[in-house]
Structure 1
C-alpha cells in the first residue's frame, strides 16, 4: 500500500506533533502545518515531513490557495487533521465578547474554512479522511470551560453532518474526543499570565468555577493520558488496524 499523506495542523507540539511522528514511523508522509516554520522541533526535520506555514486567521481565499499548495507537496492528501486550536477559559459571566468570538473563529470558523478549501480536491480524489479534533468537552461541559466546550460542541455537530455529506464521495469524517492528555494544552491557561483566561470575578471564589480555574495550574503536566497511546488510536482508525481492525466506519 502506498504511504498515506497526512496534513496535520498544529503539528509542532502536543498531539499534533506526536501524530506526525507516529505517521512517519509507520511509513507515511506528513505535511506539518504550523504558524512559525522557523520554530519547529528537530523531530519534524525529516525527509518524510514537509513543513508549511499555516495560519488560522487566513481568509477563505488564502486557505483555498494554501490547499492547492498542500496537495502539490506529495501529490495527494489522504488524511486532513484539523488539530490546531486552544481553550479560552473562565466562568460564563467572566467571559468577554471579543475573546469568545476569537475562540470560535479559531476552533470553529477556521476549521470550516480549511475543510471548504480541501474538499474540492478530496472529492476529486475520491478517497480520504477528515479528522476533526474535538474534546471530551465536546460531549459534556464543565464550570470554567463553557466557552471552550461550546466551540467543541460545534465541532461535533459539524463533523456529524459532514460525515453524511461526504460519504457518497468516498470520504470519511470523524471527530476525535481526547480526554486529559499530558501535553502543553493547559500551559496556556496559567492563571498568572495567560490571555486565554478570562478576568476573574471575586464573587466566584470558593465556587466550582474558581475551583476549576485553580485546578488548571495544579493539573498541568499531571494529566493521566499518554499522548503516544492517544495518537496510536488515531492512526489505527485511519489504517483500519488495531482496535479498529474490521470495524464498520460509517456516519
Structure 2
C-alpha cells in the first residue's frame, strides 16, 4: 500500500489518479483550494483520504498541508504534483500578471511542495515524485509559449532533481500528456483579452487558441486510462524518467528528437569549432 499526496485533487488528472489509487487500496492526502471540492473523494475513500486545503502558491499552506499529511500518515510514498493551469496567447500578446501567476503555480508551487516533502523522503530513503509536465514541456506550439516555458522549466528541474535524489532512493518521473479531456483547455486556462489581441498572429496563435477551445471535452486522451498508467508507474520498482501519455505525446517526443537532429547536423563542424581543442 502506498501513501500519496496529490495537489489539485479536485478535478482532472488529480481526481482520477486519487480515485484509481484508492481503488487499489492506497491512501491519499488529497489537496485542493477548498475542502468542499474534495467531498466526493472522502465519500469514496473514507478514512483512507485526508482532505487538505492547499494553494501551492501560499508558503504557509504548503507547510501546513505537508506537515499535517506527514503527521497523519507517518510518511508520503508518492507525491503527485498535478496542480497547474494554462494560458493561451501569443508571446507578444501575453499579459505579464497572467504569465507570472502561471509560473507561480506550475513551477514555483511544484517546487515548494516537493521541497517540503523531500526531507521526509530522504529520511526514509524512499519515495516517488511524479511531476506533471506535458508534451508541451518538450516541444512548443503557437499560443502557449509561456505555458511551454513553464513546462520546460518543470522538465529541467525534474531532470536535475532526479540526478540528485536517485542515490538517496528517491525516484522522479515526468508525466507528459498530450490532449486529454481534463478541462485543461476549458476553465483551467485563461487567454489573451480582446484588447491585447494582435491581428498579425491570427493565423498562428489565434488559430491554435481557437482549436484548443473547440476541442474541450473531445480530446482523444482518456483521463481514467491515464490515471491507471500513472498509478502503475508509481508502483513500478524501476520507473522511467519520462512517461508520455497519448499517441500525440509519444510521437511528439520522437518527432522533437528527429527535428533537433536534423536542425543541428548540417552545421556540426561549425558547432564543434567553438572548442579550443
Aligned alpha-carbon RMSD (Å): 1.8
**SS of structure 2 residue aligned to 1:71:** helix
Unmatched 5+ residue regions in structure 2? Answer: 243-277
Task: Identify if the C-alpha distance between structure 1 residues 248 and 11 changes in structure 2 by more than 3 Å, giving closer, same or farther.
Answer: closer
**Aligned residue number for residue 27 of structure 2:** 29
**SS of structure 1 residue aligned to 2:57:** coil
* Alignment of 1:107 onto 2:106: yes
Q: Please tell me whether the aligned partners of residues 64 and 118 of structure 1 are also in contact (alpha carbons under 8 angstroms).
A: no
**Aligned residue number for residue 199 of structure 1:** 193
Give the whole-Å Cα distance in 2 for the aligned partners of 1:70 and 1:205. Answer: 46
**Aligned residue number for residue 53 of structure 2:** 53
Q: Alignment partner for residue 238 of structure 1, among 231, 234, 237?
A: 234
Q: Alignment partner for residue 20 of structure 1, among 18, 21, 30?
A: 18
1:168-247 to structure 2, matched below 5 A, reads: 168-188=167-187, 196-200=190-194, 201-204=197-200, 206-240=202-236
Give the whole-Å Cα distance in 2 for the aligned partners of 1:6 and 1:185. Answer: 22
Q: Please tell me whether the aligned partners of residues 138 and 150 of structure 1 are also in contact (alpha carbons under 8 angstroms).
A: yes
Give the whole-Å Cα distance in 2 for the aligned partners of 1:230 and 1:182. Answer: 11
Unmatched 5+ residue regions in structure 1? Answer: 241-245
Give the whole-Å Cα distance in 1 for the aligned partners of 2:202 and 2:96. Answer: 25
How much does 1:205 deviate? Answer: 5.8
**Aligned residue number for residue 257 of structure 2:** none
**Aligned residue number for residue 120 of structure 1:** 119
**SS of structure 1 residue aligned to 2:76:** coil
**Aligned residue number for residue 152 of structure 2:** 153
Give the whole-Å Cα distance in 1 for the aligned partners of 2:239 and 2:184. Answer: 32
Deviations 1:59-93 (A, max 9, x none): 2x552343221111211100001000100110011
Give the whole-Å Cα distance in 1 for the aligned partners of 2:144 and 2:241. Answer: 30
Give the whole-Å Cα distance in 1 for the aligned partners of 2:172 and 2:111. Answer: 13
**Aligned residue number for residue 243 of structure 1:** none
